[in-house]
Structure 1
Amino acid sequence: MSGVLVIGGTAEARALAAALHACDVPVVSSLAGRVSNPALPEGEVRIGGFGGVDGLVDHLRAAGYDAVVDATHPFAARMSAHAATACEVAGVPLLRLQRPGWGGHRDAERWHWVRDIDDARRSAESLGDRAFLTTGRQTLDAFRSWTDRYTLVRLVEEPSWPAPTSWEVLRSRGPYSLDSERELLRSRGIDVLVTKDSGGSMTEAKLQAAGELDIPVVVVRRPPVPEGVMAVDSVDDAVAWTVTLLRS
């Protein structure tokens, strides 16, 4: 048995690696390497890209994996597309594991759902003047024009370019409590929250705090799962799929 490649970097990927390890399934977890000092999963870890679809195909064939689980961030659309194409070419079974989104949140119908990050910027500009931006470092280019307004940006890593002087950049990693999120929104006078439908509980408190303070929320919808790829939203389901596949 050659084992499983988990394309990860998320809490779900780490939990899956630990669960498979406990089932004596050989696991290799692949991290992109964009975050310094990442939380490492159990088992073997490789860090760095594959070199596009062709590189991933070569890696899958050379390693001889029995299966691949794409457990990247819900918005890692390019990596998910590469995994789908490469696994089809290499003939390796693929599963998509992604946490449930926030569409079932009690305030979801009140939010301003948008298609992409550019729509999020335009929507936020029409709703407020002091934004709390939580869409991630790779989306910041879309907001470069916000040089004349206060913008609170929360990131795990520093921006890749100098932020405007009107911005406040907070470097931190969740989870965040409701009390701390409520105080953050109040103390900065935030009047619009901009986020992505990342899901999960680690950063969900900001949504409840915004609802309590009657602050409008702009949410970028998730990209779709690549066509033809089976998807599950729990680690238990991913473990069951993997173990069943290997036993067969």
Structure 2
Amino acid sequence: MTHVLLLGGTFDAHVLSTRLHEAGISAVYSYAGATLTRRTPALPTRVGGFGGVAGLVQYLRDQHITHVMDATHPFAAQISAHAIEACAQVGIPLLSMERPAWQAQSGDRWTQVADMNAAAAALPCDGGTVFLAIGRKQLAAFATQAAHHRFVLRVIDQADEPLPLPAANCELVIARGPFRLDDEIALIREHGIEHIVSKNAGGPDTYAKIEAARQLQLPVIMVDRPQLPPRTQCETPDQTMEWLAHAR
């Protein structure tokens, strides 16, 4: 009997959970639980980590998982790497659904960097207002290397724990995508944003800020996706369902 573990937390994973439910396929949806406000998936859910590779291997065996679909965020590298190793140990198929990365277009002023430390180092030395469109988890580099800047940080929800950025130099914007181009231009103008730091998440939901930067000729520091070991990949829920049909 097919029993799928869907590693989620993205809109595409939410869509895929609905597709699995509608197809009558036995599956469980797992996500980290990092955000307080979230879409409710159509499948039975579990929240939190597995306890590393060993914990995930034990879960796969205990729950008689037959297939794993990794539809986590492209920057959720740890769980993706653990899934690759755990599935190899147990000997079950794994598919990674990952939307294509954004590509620089004519008019874009991108500086591509490997990680957040490099992104913080790439900001100009003379300060300025920086739009951090990177979530709240990887702010330490900006607190230590670029504290002389003023930051506008957009997050999905308000968390209880304090941010590492100096409160006097950081304004919090709470919003969930998809975002419209006109609204992104208005946000940039309202806050006097001069630089944008973005993860290369891909997909349409948060691309409007990149379009806005292009129109306003603002520089963008684009953080590349983490490198992962080779694995079977696709780009859409449709392709994922086709893979499962063949894998079964």
Length-normalised TM-score, structure 2: 0.93
5+ long unaligned stretches in structure 1: none
Structure 2 CA distance for aligned equivalents of residues 56 and 88 of structure 1: 12
User: How many residue pairs get matched?
Assistant: 244
Structure 1 CA distance for aligned equivalents of residues 138 and 169 of structure 2: 18
Match of 1:88 in 2: 88
Q: Which runs of 4+ in 1 moved over 3 A?
A: 107-110, 157-160
Map Cα deviations across residues 70-97 of structure 1 (whole Å, 9 max, x no partner).
1100001111110011111111110111
5+ long unaligned stretches in structure 2: none
Aligned match for 1:230, one of 229, 232, 235 = 232
Length-normalised TM-score, structure 1: 0.93
Alignment of 1:1-248 (within 5 A): 1-103=1-103, 105-107=104-106, 110-125=109-124, 129-145=128-144, 146-158=146-158, 160-162=161-163, 163-164=165-166, 165-227=168-230, 229-246=231-248
* Counterpart residue identity of residue 188, structure 2: L
Structure 2 CA distance for aligned equivalents of residues 226 and 107 of structure 1: 31
* Counterpart residue identity of residue 244, structure 1: H
Structure 2 CA distance for aligned equivalents of residues 108 and 214 of structure 1: 7
Q: 1:107 to 1:157 in 2, by over 3 A?
A: farther
Identity %: 38
Structure 2 CA distance for aligned equivalents of residues 158 and 65 of structure 1: 35
| Alpha-carbon offset, residue 149 of structure 1 | 2.4
* Counterpart residue identity of residue 174, structure 1: G
